[in-house]
Amino acid sequence: MNDETDPIQDALRAAGERGLLINELATSLGIKPKKLTEKIEQLMSKGLIKVQKLEQKEEKYMLKADFSDEADHGSLSDMNGCPCFHCLRINKCGVRQPDSPVSCREIEEWMISTQAN
């Protein structure tokens, strides 16, 4: 994480459940909105913050930090039963290949069954 991301998380942590509007955060940190937006997208992609759209006349977004165990990266046990581990086509499997995880029925059924649990 770079130097400019930590102040963002600190500010959101201090705001707590109340959250902050993006403009409030940019003003308080003295960061240009475009650069702040890039940093926010990085934090969102890592699951460290959430963006919530507010129901108002103008389109506004509220930032809130997700500090429940920071980011949940899962564990190896989450892969229990994955059909890829015993698939005979695994060495020829890939995106834009005849065998692909995108079109694999077995992995689709496995993912659906793990979501139900």
- Summarised one tens digit per residue, pLDDT across range 34-81 is 888 888 888 887 777 777 766 655 555 666 666 555 545 555 567 778
Burial group, residue 50, by CB count within 10 angstroms (0-12, 13-18, 19+): middle
Q: pTM for this one?
A: 0.45
Domain assignment present for residue 70? The answer is no
Do residues 61 and 81 both lie within one domain? Answer: no
Q: How many domains does the chain have?
A: 2
Q: Can you tell me whether residue 101 is helix, strand or coil? A: coil
99 DSSP β-pair partners: 93
Do residues 25 and 59 both lie within one domain? Answer: yes
Burial group, residue 3, by CB count within 10 angstroms (0-12, 13-18, 19+): exposed
Please report the pLDDT score of residue 42 as a whole number.
83
Do residues 13 and 60 both lie within one domain? Answer: yes
- Indicate which CATH number applies to the domain containing 15: 1.10.10.10
CA proximity to 5, closest of 41, 57, 56, 50: 41
Domain span at residue 32?
5-65
Do residues 55 and 14 both lie within one domain? Answer: yes
